[in-house]
Amino acid sequence: MSIFTGAGTAIVTPFKASGEIDFNKFEELIEDQIAGSIDCIVVAGTTGEAATMSDEEQLAAIKFTCDVVKGRVPVVAGTGSNNTAHAIHLSVEAEKLGADGLLLVSPYYNKATQNGLKAHFTAIANSVKIPSILYNVPSRTGMNITPATIVDLCKNVDNIVAVKEASGNFSAIAQIMNMADGCVDVYSGNDDQIVPLLALGGKGVISVLSNVAPKETHDICELFFKGDIEGSRNLQLKALPLIDALFCEVNPIPVKAALNLMGKNVGIPRLPLTEMEPAHQEILRRELVNFGLIK
């Protein structure tokens, strides 16, 4: 069974000027997402800056999200690591804290063979009872999870059920769909490719765009599933200039800048990420105006 269908928000983590997590602001962001009809909250992922959180902070963010959401939508917790034992620890704790599913990025820096990936993900999944989504993002990790490995894991490990595909390789995505026989739920990891992936049989998107436009991102998926392909496509195309602006610097630099321009006051990213360059911020401001999100 799918963890969710539609648009899941890879939610930012708001920080105070002191650098601590701003939980009051975090609650506002979560409530805005649910009010915007989002279908899932993905906490402590790349967009949430888990890479620069301590374990205590990461687990606190997961617990807080689960406590605020209160079952209204599924909560998926990012618990992946390049250290299998560390990923198991985070995953076990996230399950205890109430997460409905896990997002497991492929090992970075040390990488792994495809057989190593199978062993890594199997060990994590077998440590918990909640379902897991594999996260294939070669641009971040320096390695690719092949279609054969993804399908093998979903067929042979009961609670590995899906993949967030951010490779941008539609030939590989089509191979997954062809080989999977329905055992793999595929989510787009790229906001500019939602409709094409849905056309191949995808379940939705894990989105950065939805931080600023939850209703519109939800609607891209909902319209498609209701058979209004033209409406879905038009909304996807309308969002492309904004999506480009949200990725003109490394994520989540632009999306945090966008939320600040919208008056959400989420703070700045933690180093080594920096504030957005002024020229890029002007492009972002223009696209937020064009999309009707600010005046």
Write out the residue range of the structural domain in which residue 64 sits: 6-226
Position 54 pLDDT exceeds 80: yes
Instruction: Over range 213-238, report the average pLDDT.
Output: 98
Query: Is 171 part of a structural domain of the chain?
Result: yes
Domain for residue 288, yes or no?
Answer: no
Percent of the chain with pLDDT over 70: 100
Q: Is residue 258 part of a domain?
A: no
- When the pLDDT of each residue in the chain is averaged and rounded to a whole number, the result is 97
Amino acid identity, position 280: H
Residue 286 domain-assigned (yes or no): no
- pLDDT tops 90 at residue 278: yes
Q: Give the pLDDT score at 1.
A: 59
At 2, the pLDDT band (50, 70, 90 cuts) reads confident
Q: How many domains does the chain have?
A: 1
Q: Quick one: pLDDT band at residue 249, thresholds 50, 70, 90?
A: very high
pLDDT tens, residue by residue, 72-111:
999 999 999 999 999 999 999 999 999 999 999 999 999 9
Percent of the chain whose predicted confidence (pLDDT) is above 90? 99
**Mean pLDDT on 210-239:** 98
H or E stretch at 161? strand 160-165
248 domain-assigned: no
pLDDT band at 69 (very low <50, low <70, confident <90, very high): very high
Residues labelled catalytic: 135, 164
> What pTM was estimated for this model as a whole?
0.97
**CATH number for the domain harbouring residue 75:** 3.20.20.70
Whether residue 42 is contained in a domain is answered as: yes
Kindly state whether residue 243 falls inside one of the protein's structural domains.
Answer: no
- How high is the pLDDT of residue 14? 98
% helix / strand / coil in the chain, to the nearest 5?
Answer: 50, 15, 35
Q: How far lies 167's CA from each of 103, 113, 170, 182, 197, in Å?
A: 16, 17, 8, 20, 12
* Average pLDDT rounded to a whole number, residues 249-268: 98
pLDDT digits (tens, 9 = 90+) for 7-51: 999 999 999 999 999 999 999 999 999 999 999 999 999 999 999
Other Cβ atoms less than 10 A from the Cβ of 1: the count is: 5
pLDDT for 31 equals 98
Whether 48 is covered by a domain: the verdict is yes
**Strand pairing class (132-136; 101-105):** parallel
Would you call 210 exposed, middle or buried from its count of C-beta atoms within 10 A (0-12, 13-18, 19+)? buried
